[in-house]
């Protein structure tokens, strides 16, 4: 049996599944969730992501919540260690303070020993500066480097 990558699914991915424009991001997101359903990946998220989904209109929120319940292996909890690592990302300028939630997504992935954060947020999460900076902090703190990817990039790697 081959290794199954463990992925943290960030808020934007749930949103794109129900985008309604049927563009590349939505098509890739639907295919991505099909691969999760087929056992290609293990999917996780956090309570904070589920709370962020509440910002969507009620009908879309219900659909996203159902998608999460159907495909996620576990909803991970924030801990003091997750908060500490996120604080390091912010204090070292990797993630801006006003986007601390993004730092928490990366930190929870790191602390729970997952392989990737999957996101369409290319402003603060899926970008070279974040991958290098978070990777250096992780290594310094005794954690391993994690990947930051969009569903599209992950599918292209397959």
pLDDT at 1: 63
Mean pLDDT to the nearest integer, 94-122: 96
Average pLDDT over residues 117-145: 96
Tokens matching residue 81: 């260690």
Closest of 121, 53, 130 to residue 86, by C-alpha: 130
Q: How far apart are CA 31 and CA 37, in angstroms?
A: 10
Query: What is the model's pTM?
Result: 0.94
Q: What are the pLDDT digits (tens) for 2-47?
A: 899 999 999 999 999 988 776 889 999 999 999 999 999 999 999 9
Which pLDDT score, from 0 to 100, does residue 37 have?
96
In DSSP notation, the chain reads -----EEEEPHHHHHHHT-SS--HHHHHHHHHHHHHHTTSSEEEEEHHHHHHGGGS-HHHHHHHHHHHHHHEEEEEPP-HHHHHHHHHHHHTTSS-GGGHHHHHHHHHHHHTT-SEEE-S-TTTTSSHHHHHHHHHHHHHTT----EEE-HHHHHHH-
Q: Which pLDDT score is estimated for 2?
A: 87
Residue that has been written with the tokens 């974040």 in this structure: 130
Q: Each residue of 47-90: pLDDT tens digit?
A: 999 999 999 999 999 999 999 999 999 999 999 999 999 999 99
| pLDDT mean over 126-145 | 96
Domain 6-157 fold: Rossmann fold (3.40.50)
Using one digit for the tens of pLDDT, what is the confidence trace for 101-110? Answer: 999 999 999 9
pLDDT of residue 76: 96
Tally of residues, the chain: 158
**pLDDT computed for residue 20 by the predictor:** 74
């Amino acid at each position: 049996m081959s290794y199954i990558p463990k992925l943290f699914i960030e808020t934007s991915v749930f949103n794109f599944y129900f985008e309604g424009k049927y563009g590349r991001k939505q098509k890739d997101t639907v295919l991505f969730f099909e691969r999760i359903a087929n056992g290609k990946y293990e999917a996780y998220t956090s309570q904070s992501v589920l709370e962020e989904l509440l910002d969507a209109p009620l009908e879309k929120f219900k659909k996203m919540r159902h998608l999460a319940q159907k495909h996620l292996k576990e909803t991970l909890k924030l801990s003091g260690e997750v908060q500490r690592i996120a604080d390091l990302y912010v204090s070292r300028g990797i993630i801006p303070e006003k986007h601390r939630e993004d730092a928490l997504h990366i930190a929870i992935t790191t602390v729970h020993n997952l392989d990737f954060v999957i996101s369409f947020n290319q402003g603060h999460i899926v970008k070279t500066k974040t991958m290098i900076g978070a990777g250096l902090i992780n290594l310094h703190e005794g954690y391993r480097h994690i990947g930051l990817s969009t569903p599209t990039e992950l599918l292209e790697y397959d």
